[in-house]
Chain A
Amino acid sequence: MSAPPLRQIVIVGGGTAGWMAAGALSRLIANGVTRITLVESEEIGIVGVGEATIPPIRQFNEVLGLDEREFLKATQGSYKLGIEFVDWTRPGHRYIHPFGPFGADMNAVKFHQFWLKLRGLGRAADFAEYNLCAMAAYENRFGGIAPPYRSPLTQLHWAYHFDASLYARFLRRYSEARGVTRVEGKITKVHQRAEDGFIESVELESGQKIEGELFIDCSGFRGLLIEQTLQTGYEDWTRWLPCDRAIAVPCAHGDGEFTPYTRSTAREAGWQWRIPLQHRIGNGYVYSSQFISDDEAASTLLANLDGEALADPRPLRFVTGRRKKAWVKNCVALGLASGFLEPLESTSIHLIQSGISRLLALLPDSGFAQAEIDEYNRLTDQQIEAIRDFIILHYHANERDGAPLWDACRHMDIPDTLARKLALFRSKGRLFRYEDELFAEASWHAVLLGQNVMPQGYDPLVDAAPVDEIAAALEEIRTLVRGAAGSMPLHADFINQHCRASAA
């Protein structure tokens, strides 16, 4: 009655995506039948996609059974409590998109609604002061909270910054210990079944053929299997997200603090990332080639580093968008092979992770069911579209008058889903989450309010409570949050004490 289980899964490409897939599959498909092979070539460099992550990465590491501190030691990692956006709203302005909630809902009314009312009365502090991660981030703190401040309102949420190539190396050791076979070599040919075009095998330069029943394409932008072989097609989103190049360079830590957050600074033709690791700081300028030359972008980047550059700047080119289908026949594309969104909200590694967990939830056997492939693609589309909208919001809601890229973004047509969301929020600060949306309401609130999208009114239910009572409740939360944040150790001290990498 059952089709036999897969005997051979072949992962093509050994970057972050490939080794994350190998790690998770080797851990969860332990049926004694399915063999996993990963093909990679040391000659092909890896694009170290975003080294900053979001909190679900912790679940991924947990499923693999990784020890947090060992993992940070092995990857030169640090903790991350959110992302600071500098100059996005307008030059001189900054806000933070922290993890975790703001304040607490009261009487089934969202916290930010109370804040909106008090703000109108000039009686509210900055929105960030009601969020623990934001306050800890501003003080460069991370770690345990002192007992008097521990409460349901002071739950810390975190993710990591790490060196993606070290993470891939770490997962390679993990996967090989669980029976994954690594084959070194460049793929020169792909063989398909005559009757239905399913991929049968990949052939290496050496002539070696590797056969498989399921192929996972982690070959990066080019999509060796999903595009070059299966010609799936690509949907271009440049009309909403005009950046098409990046230039990246690591630098030494300067005299500044070891920040437990990512920083994104808006620039004339895009934005610059700053990701603090233990041994260096990762930097890059994501830009639109329409608005700035490569040389100018490189010199802007080099002029804005914390310390001396530790390598030559490395250019990258990309087309923002998605593969029309992430799963075609017996090939599932993960990572850059499935699409590209700029790392503004640190979603690259998350997209890999959720692709893997979706694949595990819909794992085929040797008889592939179209219903499962369709479901995989439907869920993938929904997720990436929701993230796309969130990223577009950052560009669209700007007040950077007179800068051509930013003017264009402010006036562009945005996707309907985002337009509806903005209209609802502008009216009375309301949001309803859509299906399978990755970012919770708190994230939308942080960015909408951070970028000065102020609702015209607030939820009328707020008026049921007397203003003084609301003000007192907000003040209590603010005091608790400030106390909790101040009671944590400094991020640098916490790292030194618990997860310092032995050598760079």
Chain B
Amino acid sequence: MSGAPGHIFIAGGGVAGWMFALAAARALAPLGVQITVADDGRPDESLGAQTPALSTLPGAQDHHHGLGLDDLDVLRAARGSFKLGERHTGWAPGADTVLPYGDTGADIGPVRFHQQLMRLGARAGDMDLAAYSLAGEAARLGRFAPPSPDPASFLSTLDFGLHLETAGYARLLRAAALQSGAKALEGRVMSARRGDDGALTAALLEDGRAIEADVFIDATGERAALISGVLGVGWESWAAPGFDRIASTLTQEGAAPAPLTHNQADAAGWVRTIPLYGARSDQLVFASSAMDDAAAIGQLGGAASVSAFNPGRRTAPWSANCLAVGAAACRPDPLASAEAHLAASAALRFLKLVPHGDGGAVEAREYNRVFEAETGSVRDFAAHAYLAQTRKEAPWARARTLQPSPELARRMALYAARGRIMRSEDAVYDEAMWAAAFIARRVQPHDHDPLANGLDEAALKHRCEHIRQLAAQTARRLPAHGDMLAQLHGRAP
């Protein structure tokens, strides 16, 4: 009666393919569903070209837990380090801000913390939100400790993401998936055969083999061999005008990694540095109008490589019996820190909607609806950085001509009026992260929340100052991030 599909075929390994295989094998292999991954063994581009490392959002831990993985194993396998937030420099003249994870200050009834600071007269340019956050203060000092499960402890206010080397992460996911019952085959999927009803019947490999299955997962990255190559499903581009190239490199590094991802804007583009244990990844997103590939390679170092950069999303990632995951479905701007999140949520969403023999048109429509809401929030979070930056150079001025989505336009108007943020559907970023982003990006609202005026000014000042001191004092007592990692990895970098 339930009729789960007999064979799920995953085209492409990498983080996207193997994460999907692991989730599917854990849930479906006990039902006798066969899960096969065709892995071509080439460098992992399943989450997008030039992605040697991942910098995740908080919540990756929950995904790992759901996949039966221990975070510490993940960190060990992927030269991992902890991430307490993101540092942004150069997006406005002289700006250097940290966007911390976890709680910042504390709301008072309906009055958000940033509204309290604005009530006390703080302006966007000088508001140091991170100083009221344990993650922010710890990051500044290069310290880290896992959050406390005790909600009464100030340590419970900390939250974190992970910095992971893509290749090591994929290896770990592959091993776990195989152990859960998924099968691997060597080969590169080039195309597929279709039946009379338009559905895929067999995947075609470079070496001529044809593999039949009921459901096909396209994890071939931007190549999108099935969803685009065979089914011709369209792509909606999100690129900021002119920012059309991406370069990257992974280099050895002796210094202890900072618990922060660093996004540094420069004349022709911006560099995202992800610190790993014993290594670092640098990604350079740039405008070809202002910098050629050779110059980009020169800036990052000789071993760098370059690709076209076209962030965006598939218009219908689940079409017929084919589901695109990873960059075949959505390539987020690296600024959104969303690659790993989207790969995990795709797998979990699919498992909530596993189709029967009937093709799953109803399920596909629901999947695509939620995908659209989720990726819309990822698009907007990154797009806002290009819109809010105030650099004078030509590529940056041109980037500001990016047309915001209606949802982002609404969000910006609402913040501009009185610094308000309302939650929205399937939001990947919560209200506090948006508040921190608006403040880091120096957006000055016209006014603050009138409810904040009901708070006693002297008492409020005292309270904020107390939180600031508590954050600073607690952060000083945490272990150094480098020491934590040395202990975790059990060896010097």
A5 proximity list for chain B (CB < 8 A)? 450, 453
A32: nearest chain-B partner, CB-CB: B454
Check: B416 CB closer than 8 A to any chain A CB.
yes
- Check if B420 sits within 8 Å of A460, measured CB to CB: no
- Check if B110 sits within 8 Å of A33, measured CB to CB: no
Check: A458 CB closer than 8 A to any chain B CB.
yes
Check: B410 CB closer than 8 A to any chain A CB.
yes
Name the contact of B4 in the complex, choosing from A3, A63, A369, A460 (C-beta under 8 A).
A460
Interface size of B as a range: 35 or more
Check: A475 CB closer than 8 A to any chain B CB.
no
Tell me, in angstroms, the Cα distance from A120 to B1 when the chains sit together. Answer: 9
- Check if B356 sits within 8 Å of A428, measured CB to CB: yes
Name the contact of A361 in the complex, choosing from B110, B352, B356, B453 (C-beta under 8 A).
B110
A6 proximity list for chain B (CB < 8 A)? 450
Tell me, in angstroms, the Cα distance from A6 to B66 when the chains sit together. Answer: 49
Name the contact of B2 in the complex, choosing from A361, A378, A460 (C-beta under 8 A).
A460
Check: A299 CB closer than 8 A to any chain B CB.
no
Check: B291 CB closer than 8 A to any chain A CB.
no
Q: Which of A5-60 contact B (CB under 8 A)?
A: 5-6, 28-31, 33
Tell me, in angstroms, the Cα distance from A406 to B131 when the chains sit together. Answer: 62
Tell me, in angstroms, the Cα distance from A1 to B413 when the chains sit together. Answer: 17
Tell me, in angstroms, the Cα distance from A375 to B407 when the chains sit together. Answer: 11
Q: Which of A425-459 contact B (CB under 8 A)?
A: 427-428, 430, 432, 434-436, 457-459
User: Binary interface profile of B, 417-440, with partner A (CB < 8 Å = 1, else 0)?
Assistant: 110101011100000000000000
Tell me, in angstroms, the Cα distance from A435 to B377 when the chains sit together. Answer: 13
A427 proximity list for chain B (CB < 8 A)? 356, 358, 362-363
- Check if B451 sits within 8 Å of A363, measured CB to CB: yes
A430 proximity list for chain B (CB < 8 A)? 352-353, 363, 366
Inter-chain contact count A-B, CB under 8 Å? 121
Q: Which of A365-404 contact B (CB under 8 A)?
A: 365, 367, 369-372, 374-375, 378-379
Tell me, in angstroms, the Cα distance from A479 to B416 when the chains sit together. Answer: 55
Known: A372-B420, A424-B366, A430-B366. A462 touches B2 (CB 8 A): yes
- Check if A375 sits within 8 Å of B414, measured CB to CB: yes
**Least Cβ distance of B123 to chain A in Å?**
9
Known: A31-B454, A430-B353, A460-B2. A424 touches B362 (CB 8 A): yes
Check: A117 CB closer than 8 A to any chain B CB.
yes
Tell me, in angstroms, the Cα distance from A311 to B410 when the chains sit together. Answer: 51
Interface size of A as a range: 35 or more
Known: A435-B424, A460-B3, A464-B31. A363 touches B410 (CB 8 A): no
Check: B486 CB closer than 8 A to any chain A CB.
no
- Check if B366 sits within 8 Å of A360, measured CB to CB: no
Check: B274 CB closer than 8 A to any chain A CB.
no
Tell me, in angstroms, the Cα distance from A463 to B454 when the chains sit together. Answer: 56
Known: A375-B422, A424-B363, A464-B31. A30 touches B454 (CB 8 A): yes
Check: A364 CB closer than 8 A to any chain B CB.
yes
Write 20 A-B pairs (CB below 8 A) sorted by A numbering: A2-B448, A31-B450, A108-B66, A360-B451, A363-B451, A369-B417, A369-B418, A372-B414, A424-B366, A427-B362, A430-B352, A432-B352, A432-B366, A435-B373, A435-B425, A459-B354, A460-B2, A460-B31, A463-B4, A463-B31
Residues of chain A at the chain B interface (Cβ within 8 Å)? 1-3, 5-6, 28-31, 33, 63, 108, 117, 120, 357, 360-365, 367, 369-372, 374-375, 378-379, 420, 423-424, 427-428, 430, 432, 434-436, 457-464
